[in-house]
Structure 1
Amino acid sequence: MCGRFVVADAGSELVGVLRVDLIADDLPAPSYNVAPTDMAAIVLDSTKTEPPTRRLEAARWGLVPSWAKDLSVGARAINARAEEVEDKPMFRNALIKRRAVIPASGYYEWKLVDDQKVPHYIHPADDGPLLFAGLYEWWKNPSAAEDDPAKWVLSFTILTRDAIGRLGSIHDRMPLFLDPDFADAWLDPTTENVGDILDAAVDAAPDVAATLDDHVVSRAVGNVRNNGPELIEPVD
């Protein structure tokens, strides 16, 4: 799974990598400990224009489907298994039309060693942006006034697959990584071969995974109140 990640400056880098057309003015500040229900920057192709407009938007981590009664549903949907999304009502519609890319500098995963969980920071070897495949949804808060800025909530989930290679020795799941060259196909909301796009992303993710580095970091990352560049520094 992916339960914490880092966004140092990947949002600004992504504008060039993915040719973003519009950047929201409420993007969250850099964070070294993005946790479930936090806000993070995501990329999506909006179909409100023709052709679709590529947007960098602030979204809440934890997918909240349009039919949910409240936001609490999202806390249980921070990740979605790639092998299940086509069949689960929580994710099926988003997979068809609302795919997203979540940019990150890296992410944390915990390895069980002698009955203790040891946090690892996993990141690109070249310090470039790491791209997660995701899904997004818009949820309308029924209790908010129509003119309330919080009336509409944008949320997202990160797709995962079986981990392989060195990452598999840390945890049995890993995010569904995207190569920048494949991101256009993943984001395209007009595609009709959604199953093929998903299968291609799953098959290509190991190539990205093979380029990643990891090192052990402080257990301080386990506390969501801790947030700073020291969290990604290696420890003995």
Structure 2
Amino acid sequence: MCGRFTLTRDANAIARAFQATVPASFQNSARFNIAPTQNIVTVMQNGERHLDMLRWGLVPSWAKDLSIGSRMINARAETLAEKPSFKRLLGHKRCLIVADGFYEWKKEAKTKTPMYITLKDQDIFAFAGLWDAWKNPDGEIIRTCTIITTDANEFMNPIHNRMPAILTAEERDIWLDPTIHEAGPLLSLLKPYASDEMAAHPVSRQVNNPAYDSPELIATVQ
């Protein structure tokens, strides 16, 4: 699964990386411990490609209340085309979720060691995501999203048996293409990322506390 990640770059750097525009009202700050139910940076394409903020934790349009979102932070690639919550979104409501690292907990004896995973070149990357819009009882529209996960690659497997579906630049273009609605070509993108392009190191257990958000979290600990 993917339950915490980071995004420390500013909006202009993100926009350049994804060839996206930055809306005048868009604001973001460096984040070192992004947690479910928080607003996160995404790339959307409806007309033009642009940065946007969505709430992490999918709330389907038919949901009775917002609380379901905390249980739908991830979606398994293998069942996207089967589960009603995701099937209709796969064809029409896809997004990129922007990150520059993510955390996973490695089981070691009776403890779990938090690991910080990045690309070797420290570049910005994107998880494949789905989004939906939900109207609360007051009539407010809340847009939410989920991160798609897939099997772990050889590098990730000793840490965890799942990993977020990270897309290459070419795959991102396909994922955001509004003319593609068939499940086949989209599901084929959701595969384990190249092992030889990834790096990881152990970090402080303070990452377990979502209230703690500091550069110290990504520092290597022994």
Question: Which bin holds the TM-score, normalised by the shorter protein?
Answer: over 0.9
Give the secondary-structure state (helix, strand or coil) at the position aligned to 1:206.
coil
The answer for the alignment partner of 1:69 in structure 2 is 64
Q: Is the 8 A contact 2:114 2:203 kept in 1?
A: yes
Contact 1:110–1:171 at 8 Å: present in 2 too? yes
Check the 8 A contact 2:128/2:147 in 1, yes or no: yes
User: Using a 3 Å threshold, how does the CA distance of structure 1 residues 11 and 210 change in structure 2: closer, same or farther?
Assistant: farther
1:22–1:53 Cα contact (<8 Å) kept: no
Q: Shift of residue 22 of structure 1?
A: 4.3
Please list the CA deviations of residues 57-92 of structure 1 after superposition, one character each: whole Å capped at 9, or x if unmatched.
111000111111111111110000000111001111
Query: 3-state SS of the aligned residue for 2:106?
Result: strand
Partner amino acid, structure 1, of 2:35 = A
**C-alpha contact (below 8 Å) 1:85/1:92 kept by paired residues:** yes
What's the RMSD between the two structures over aligned residues? Answer: 1.5
Q: Normalising by structure 1, what TM-score?
A: 0.89
Residue number in structure 2 paired with 1:168: 157
How far the C-alpha of 1:18 sits from its partner, in A, is 2.0
- Kindly report structure 1 stretches of 4+ aligned residues shifted beyond 3 Å: none
> Whole-Å Cα distance in 2 between the matches of residues 124 and 62 of structure 1?
24
Query: Which residue is equivalent to 1:38?
Result: 38
Partner SS for 1:6: strand
Structure 2 equivalent of residue 179 of structure 1: 168
Aligned length: 222
2:190 partner letter: V
Alpha-carbon distance in 1 for matches of 2:119, 2:86: 28
Aligned twin of 1:148: none
Structure 2 unmatched ranges of 5 or more: none
CA displacement 1:175-232 (0-9 Å, x = unmatched): 0010012211101122133322221x124x432x430110000000001111110000
> 2:53 is matched with which residue: 58, 82, 85?
58
Q: Deviations over 1:129-168 (max 9, x none)?
A: 0210111111111x215xxxxx111111000001011211
- Contact (CA 8 Å) 1:10, 1:104: kept in 2 or not? no
Kept in 1: contact 2:10–2:29 (CA 8 A) = no
Q: Secondary structure of the equivalent of 1:166?
A: coil
Distance 1:100 1:12 in 2: 19
Unaligned segments of structure 1, at least 5 residues: 47-51, 146-150
> Does 2:44 correspond to 1:29?
no
Candidates 197, 222, 232, aligned match of 2:186: 197
| Aligned with residue 208 of structure 2, among 207, 211, 222 | 222
TM-score (norm 2): 0.95
Q: For the residues of structure 2 that align with 1:12 and 1:167, how far apart are their CA atoms? A: 30
Contact 2:92/2:181, CA 8 A, preserved across alignment:
no
Corresponding residue SS for 1:235 = coil
Given that 1:163 and 1:172 are in contact with CA atoms closer than 8 Å, whether structure 2 keeps it comes out as yes
Contact 2:7/2:101 (CA < 8 Å) preserved in 1?
yes
* Whole-angstrom CA distance in 1 between matches of 2:90 and 2:182: 11
1:9 positional shift: 0.6
